[in-house]
Amino acid sequence: MRAVADKVFVGPFSDTLSCATLPKKTKVSNVALSGDSFSLTYKKVAGSGYEIQVATDKKFKSIVADESVADIKTVKIAKDIPGASALKGSTLYVRVRAYFTYNDVTVYGSWSR
């Protein structure tokens, strides 16, 4: 930006300002736990990557797995969860959120349902 008077440019340009937008909310479509492998399918949205959390409670206080996937083209992952076979038959809660990384700053979107 710079000041303008009577359609004549009179001031110098201001410094450059950069900002990031929040990524859209993603949606989990399929979850599977097989042995010690965990796979998850989710909707792709624009961003630098995804953060994925798996917990044994709805409020995510007992997190079993916390993984960041940097490749935005990845829609299915396999994560080794220590002791996953002991979780067989119990209810697990999964949430995913996209993030942007810009100049060493990470901006996170909202968690999926």
Structure tokens at 91: 């209810």
Which of 28-42, 44-58, 85-99 comes out lowest in average pLDDT? 28-42
Q: Indicate the SS3 state at residue 95.
A: strand
Neighbour-count burial for 5-24, b at 16+ CB within 10 Å, e otherwise? eeeeeeeeeeeeeeeeeebe
Domain 18-108 fold is Immunoglobulin-like (2.60.40)
Between residues 58 and 3, the one the model is more confident about? 58
Average pLDDT, the chain: 78
User: What average pLDDT does the segment 35-53 reach?
Assistant: 80
One-character DSSP codes across 51-88: EEEEESSTTS-SEEEEEEE--TT--EEEEE-TTGGGGT
* pTM of the model as a whole: 0.70
Q: How far is residue 94's CA from residue 35's CA, in Å, rounded to a whole number?
A: 17
Q: In the prediction, which pLDDT does 74 show?
A: 46
Highest mean pLDDT among 5-19, 25-39, 51-65: 51-65
Specify the length of the chain in residues: 113
Structure tokens at 34: 């097989």
Q: In the prediction, which pLDDT does 3 show?
A: 77
pLDDT-derived band of residue 59, with 50, 70 and 90 as boundaries?
A: very high
The tens digit of pLDDT for each residue in 70-99 reads 765 444 455 556 666 677 777 888 899 988
